[in-house]
Structure 1
Amino acid sequence: MCGIIACIGSDDAVGELLTGLENLEYRGYDSAGIAVQNGTGIAVRKKAGKISELKNTIARDVPNGTVGIGHTRWSTHGPPTDANAHPHTSRTDRVVVVHNGIIENYESIRRRLAAEGYEFKSETDTEVIPHLVEHHLDEGLDVEDAFKTAIGELDGSYAIALMINGTDTVYAARQDSPLVIGVDDDRYYLASDVPAFLDFTDEVIYIEDGEFAKVRPGELMLTDREGNVVDRDVETVEWSAEETGKGEYTHYMLKEINEQADSIANTIAGRIGDDGSIHLEEFPPGTFEDIDEVEFVACGTSYHAALYGVQLLRRAGIRAHANLASEYDTTTVTDRTLVVAVTQSGETADTMSALRAAQDAGAETVAVTNVVGSSAARQADHALYIRAGPEIGVAATKTFSSQVVTLTLLGHRLAEDLERGRPREDAAEFFAELRRLPTHIEKVLETTRAREISEKYLDKRSYFFIGRDNEFPVALEGALKFKEITYEHAEGFASGELKHGPLALVTDETAVFALFTGTNGEETRKNAEEAHTRGANIVAVAPDGTDVGDVADSVLWVPKTHPDLAGLLANVQLQLVSYYTANLLGREIDKPRNLAKSVTVE
C-alpha cells in the first residue's frame, strides 16, 4: 500500500523526494518522511499526517543532499504517529530504511534483536530491517552482503530501499510488492509506482520478485538471488506527467469521471471492426479453444467489473464465476479452466495470491489490468490491457468502465472460441452501440442532475442501490463509491433481495437508487414500490423516455443504448452523485479515510 520514492544523483534530492511523495500520496497518507545523505550524516525528517505536514516541518530546516529516500504510509502495524512514520533507522543511525509490505516474521526477529540489546522505538514491522542489517554489519559483513543476508531472513512481502551513512548508494529489493527504477541519464529514481517520478523521466526498468538493485549516481546494478547480473531493457512509459495531474479540476476523482469517454475510446480503439468483429492482438481466434470454463478473481471495484463480465459470459453460454480474490478456492480448477485476474494496478496482493494459486492448480491465466509491466501482467500467461490511462483518485471510476468494456471484448472472443459458446446474434448492433458509448457518456456528463439530487437527499441516513442482472454489479459499485468517499451508510442489493431482509432497514430516512437500464424494469419497479410505500425516496436511473411511473421521486436520465451497456451510463450518474454528496459534506474525496489506491498487503 505505502509509497516509496528514492532519488540518486539529484541536484535537489529533497525537492524531488517531496514531489515524488505528493505524486504517491494516493498510496497512503497517514504519515510521511524522507532521509537524505547531507555530507556529514543522514538527515531524517518524518511527520504524522499528510505530506503537507512534512513539508511544513522541513521548511524550518531543509537538509541538503544528492541522494535520498522517502515514504508515505498507509498504517498496518501501529497507528499513524511520528515514531511509526518511515524512514526507520538502526541503533547507530547508520542504516536507514523505507519499506512497503508486511514482514510476517517480524515479531520473532524483533525478540531476537531486542535480546541482543537493539532498542526499538516504533510499533512497526519495518523497524526490524535496519537493526537486522546493522546486526550483520557488526558481524563483519560488507554492506551488500549484510543487506542480502537480512533480506533472506524476512518472510512476507516487501519493497525496500536502504541507505548506509557515508555512501551515495541506495540498495533495494522486492518480493510481492511493486518497485520500479526511473532512468534519467546519470540520475536514477526508485519508486512503488511510475507516477512518482514522471515529472523527471518516463524511462523505466521493472524490478522482478527476488531481485536486488544497487544504485549510485551514474551506476545501476540489478542482480538475482544468486548474485547473477540481470540485464533488462529500459522501457518508455506512455503516460505523461500532465496526465497524472489534476489540471483544471478540484479533485482527481471528478477529473477521472470526466475522462471516461476518452478512456473507453482508448479501450476499444483498433479492437472492433466495422462488421462487428473483434481484433485482440493478444488473443487471435482459437486462443481459448481448449477452455471449458472461466473463473474471475478480483477485489473491490474490479470484482464488480468481473460480476458484470460474468453476466455477459453466461448469456453467451459460457460457464463463468466471479470470486473475491481473498476467498478464492481452487478446488474445481483444472487445466481447462481460464482464470482471469482483474486488477487496475496489477499489484493487488489478494489478486496476485489467487493468480499464483490458479497457476499452481494448472489453470491458464489472463491478467486484465491498466498498468503495463505490472506484477499481474508479468505473472499471468497473458495480459490484456484496459488502456484507461493513469488513475490517481483512490476511488476507482474510469477504470471500472474500461474493465467492463475490456471484459466484454474478451467475452466475445471466448464465445467464438469455446465449443459451447454462443456469439451474439446482435453483434453488429451491439458493437455499433459500444462504439457510440463515449458519445453517450459525454451526454450524461453534460446533462446530469447529479448535484441537484445530492443536495435534495443530503439529509438521509441510509442509501440503497438496487438493480437486476447486469445492473446488480452497478448497484454494488454505486454503493461502494458512495460509502468510500461520503462515509455514509450505503448498500447495494439485487432488487429482488430487498424484500428478503434489507426492507427492514427502510424508513423515510432512506434514499433508494433504482436502476431501470436493463430488461427487467417491471420487476425492479415492484421492488422500488415496496420501499416507496415504507417511506423511502426513490431515485430512478433510466434511459430517456422510460416510464418510471409514480414510483420515482426523482430521475437521473441516461441516453438510450443497448441494455448490456446502459449500466455503464448509469454508473457514471452514480459516481457523480457520490462525488457531489461527498463534496457537499466536506469529505476528503481523493484521500478517503483508512483507504489507499493500490492494496499491496493481504
Structure 2
Amino acid sequence: MCGIVAYVGPKEAYPVILKGLKRLEYRGYDSSGVALLDKELKIYKKKGKVAELEESLVGKDLHAHIGIGHTRWATHGEPNDRNAHPHLSASGKLAMIHNGIIENYAQLKQELLKKGYEFKSDTDTEVLLNFIDDIRENNQCSLEEAVRIALKRVVGAYVIIIVDQESPDTLIAARKGSPLVIGIGKDEHFLASDASPIIEYTKEVVYVNDYELAIIKPDELVLKNLGNEKLTPFVQKLDIELAAIEKGGYEHFMLKEIFEQPHTIYDCLRGRLDLSNGQVKMAGVQQNIEQLKNANRIIMVACGTSWHAGLVAEYIFEELCRIPVEVEYASEFRYRNPVIHPGDVIVAISQSGETADTLVAIEKAKEQGAFIFGVLNVVGSSIARASHSGAYTHAGPEIGVASTKAFTAQLAVLTMIALKLAKEKGTIDAARYNNLLHELHAIPEKVEVVLQQKDKIQAIAAKYSNANDFLYLGRGYNFPVALEGALKTKEISYIHAEGYPAAEMKHGPIALVDETLPVVFVATKDAYHEKIVSNIQEIKARKGKVLAVITEGDEIISQLSDDIMVVPEADEIVAPMLNVIPMQLLAYYIGVSKGLDVDKPRNLAKSVTVE
C-alpha cells in the first residue's frame, strides 16, 4: 500500500527520491521519509504529506549519491514521526524501508528484547531490521547473507530495501508479495513500487519476483534466490509515457481519468474487436479456448471496484455463455476453504495486479487445480505473472485512488471474452452476436456524449453535497452499477451511501426514505424498466428525492425525477459502461464542492498490498 523509491548512481539521490515519492502519493499514505548515505546515514521523516517532509528539510545536508525513500500507510503503530520509515538499526549502521506486514514480528521482537534490544517505534519494520542486524553481528556474515537467513524465518509479505553505512555504494532489496521494479540506467539504478518514478529516467526495467534478493550497485545488478543461486534478470521495456502520469491540464487526476474513458475503452477494443470479419481476437483467450469454453464454472475474484466489474460480468457470462458464474470477494475467498475442482476457471480482476487478497486467493486456487485467467491493467504485475493466461485492459496508469477508467476497461475486456466464448460454444445466435459487436464498438463515442453533461452533473452535485446519506438502486445489469455509484460517493465525498437491488428496497432500506434522502436510480431502458418505474413511485410517495440516470428520450422517468442524468440508448449488456459515467462525475463533483482531496481520499490506498 505504501510507496518506495531508492537510487544509487552519480546523480544527487535526494531530488530523484523526492520526485519519486510525489509520483507515488496516489497510492495512499500518512507519513514519509528518506535515508541518505554520504559518509554517515542521515534519516529524515515526517508525519503528513511529502510536501511537509520537503519543507522540513530546507537547509538540511541532503548531499548523497545513494538513498531510500518511503511513503507509509499505517499498519503497526499510529501515523506519527517515529513510526514513519526509514528505520535505523540499533547499531546505527543500517537503514531500511518496508512495504507489507511481518506476521510473526511479535515473536521476533520478544527474542530481540531478551537480547537487550530497545525499540523506538511500534512497527514490525524496525523489528525485522534489527533481526537482520543481529544476525549479521552474531554470525559475522555479510549483510546479503544476513538478509537471506532472516527472510527464511519471516512470515508475511514484504519488499525491503536496505542501505548499509559499511557499503556506501550498495543497496540490498528483497520481495515477497509486494511489488518491486528496478530501473536500469547508465551506471545507475532506480528502485520503486511501480514504474511511475522511473519512466523519466529509463525505459529498461526488471520486475523482481517473490523470494528474490537483489544486490544493486551503480554499475551492477545481481539477482539471487534465497538459496544463494544467481538468477538472470529479465529486462523489459516500459510501454508508458511520462505524460500518462501527469494531469495534462485537468484539476485532478480523477477528472482526467474520467475524461480519458472514450480513449481508454477504444484502446481496449482496438485490435481485438474486428467488425469487418465479425470476430473478437484475444490471444490469451484463443490459446486456452478449450479450457475456457468447457469450464465447469467461472469464479471471479476481486476487491472493491473490480468486484463490481465482476458482478456485471456474472450477468453477461451467464446470459451469453450459459456457464455458471460466482463472484467472490478475494479477501473472503481464501479464508473460507472454497470447493474448487479441476476444470474450474478463476478470473482474477485487478487494476494494479498487486492486490494482496486477490493474489493470495489465486495462489490457493492454483494449488487445487484451477485455471487462472487475469484481467489486469499493469503489465508485469504479480497477478499477471501468477496467472496461466489473461488479458490486459490497456487503460494506462490510473493515478486517482478511486478507480474510474479501470472499471470501464475491465467491463470492455470481460464483455469481449464473453462474446468470444459464446460464439465458440454456440450459445448466441449470429444476429445477436453481430449486434453486440456493433454496440460495444459504439461505446467510446457514446461515453463522449455522456461527458458533455459535466456542467449539468456538477450543478446536481452542488445541490446534494450536504446530504448525510445516499441510496443507490438498480436492477439486473444496473444493480452492480448502483453498488459502484455508492462506493464512489463513499470514497470521494465521505458521505454514507448504500447500493441495493431496487426490488430489495422494500425489504428494509425503504425505512430510511424521507424528504432529506437522495435516492439515485440507475434506470436506463432495459428488461426491468417498468419495474424500476414502480420503485421510483414508491420513493416519491415517501417524499424522497429522486436522481435518475435515464436513457435519452425517457419521458416517464424524467417526469417522476427531481433531477436526471441522461445517457444514449444502448443494449443492456454494454449499458453499464455508459451508466457508470454519471455516477463517477456525481461523486467527483460532490467531493470537489466539499473541498476534499478527491485524488487521495483519507485512509485509502491505490494498490492494496496487505491482506
TM-score range (shorter-chain normalised) is over 0.9
- In structure 2, the residue matched to 1:521 is 529
Q: Give me the whole-angstrom Cα distance separating, in 1, the residues matched to 2:62 and 2:398.
A: 32
- In structure 1, the residue matched to 2:330 is 325
Deviation of the 1:102 alpha carbon: 0.2
Deviation of the 1:287 alpha carbon: 4.9
Q: Give me the whole-angstrom Cα distance separating, in 2, the residues matched to 1:386 and 1:307.
A: 17
Per-residue CA distance 1:279-324 (angstroms, 9 max, x = gap): 1122225452432211100000000000000000111212111111
- In structure 1, the residue matched to 2:566 is 557
In the alignment, residue 173 of structure 1 is paired with which amino acid? A
The equivalent position to 1:293 in structure 2, one of 270, 279, 297, is: 297
Helix, strand or coil at the partner of 1:522: helix
- Give yes or no for the alignment of 1:479 onto 2:478: no
Per-residue CA distance 1:428-467 (angstroms, 9 max, x = gap): 1211121111111111111332101101222322111110
Q: Give me the whole-angstrom Cα distance separating, in 1, the residues matched to 2:76 and 2:558.
A: 53
- In structure 2, the residue matched to 1:277 is 279
Q: Give me the whole-angstrom Cα distance separating, in 2, the residues matched to 1:459 and 1:212.
A: 51
Alignment of 1:226-241 (within 5 A): 226-241=227-242
Contact conserved, 2:257 with 2:404, CA < 8 A, in 1? yes
In the alignment, residue 350 of structure 1 is paired with which amino acid? D
Helix, strand or coil at the partner of 1:214: strand
Deviation of the 1:276 alpha carbon: 3.0
Contact conserved, 1:288 with 1:417, CA < 8 A, in 2? no
- Greater Cα offset, 310-319 or 422-431: 422-431
Deviation of the 1:423 alpha carbon: 5.9
In the alignment, residue 319 of structure 1 is paired with which amino acid? P
- In structure 2, the residue matched to 1:592 is 601
Contact conserved, 1:288 with 1:418, CA < 8 A, in 2? no
Contact conserved, 2:295 with 2:323, CA < 8 A, in 1? no
Per-residue CA distance 1:85-127 (angstroms, 9 max, x = gap): 0001111210110000000000111111011111101111111
Contact conserved, 1:415 with 1:423, CA < 8 A, in 2? no
Contact conserved, 1:174 with 1:209, CA < 8 A, in 2? yes
Q: Give me the whole-angstrom Cα distance separating, in 1, the residues matched to 2:17 and 2:41.
A: 15
Count of residues in correspondence between the two structures: 600
The equivalent position to 1:581 in structure 2, one of 553, 577, 590, is: 590
Percent identity, aligned pairs only, is 39
Deviation of the 1:559 alpha carbon: 1.1
Change beyond 3 A, Cα 1:424–1:494 = farther
In the alignment, residue 604 of structure 2 is paired with which amino acid? L
Q: Give me the whole-angstrom Cα distance separating, in 2, the residues matched to 1:262 and 1:203.
A: 26
- In structure 2, the residue matched to 1:569 is 578
In the alignment, residue 569 of structure 1 is paired with which amino acid? L
- Greater Cα offset, 19-28 or 250-259: 19-28
In the alignment, residue 408 of structure 1 is paired with which amino acid? T
Q: Give me the whole-angstrom Cα distance separating, in 2, the residues matched to 1:201 and 1:319.
A: 45
- Give yes or no for the alignment of 1:161 onto 2:161: yes
- In structure 1, the residue matched to 2:269 is 268
Per-residue CA distance 1:472-524 (angstroms, 9 max, x = gap): 11000000001001001111110101111011111211101111223211111
Gaps of 5+ in 1: none
Contact conserved, 2:291 with 2:343, CA < 8 A, in 1? no
Q: Give me the whole-angstrom Cα distance separating, in 2, the residues matched to 1:440 and 1:417.
A: 29
Helix, strand or coil at the partner of 1:91: coil
Helix, strand or coil at the partner of 1:182: strand
The equivalent position to 1:453 in structure 2, one of 460, 478, 492, is: 460
Deviation of the 1:217 alpha carbon: 0.8
Contact conserved, 1:267 with 1:388, CA < 8 A, in 2? yes
Helix, strand or coil at the partner of 1:169: strand
Deviation of the 1:594 alpha carbon: 0.5
Q: Give me the whole-angstrom Cα distance separating, in 1, the residues matched to 2:459 and 2:234.
A: 52
Q: Give me the whole-angstrom Cα distance separating, in 2, the residues matched to 1:369 and 1:395.
A: 16
- Give yes or no for the alignment of 1:5 onto 2:1: no
Deviation of the 1:418 alpha carbon: 4.4
Contact conserved, 2:450 with 2:567, CA < 8 A, in 1? yes
Deviation of the 1:25 alpha carbon: 1.0
- How much is the aligned-residue C-alpha RMSD, in angstroms? 1.3
Helix, strand or coil at the partner of 2:279: coil
- Give yes or no for the alignment of 1:341 onto 2:348: yes
In the alignment, residue 500 of structure 1 is paired with which amino acid? H
- In structure 2, the residue matched to 1:225 is 226
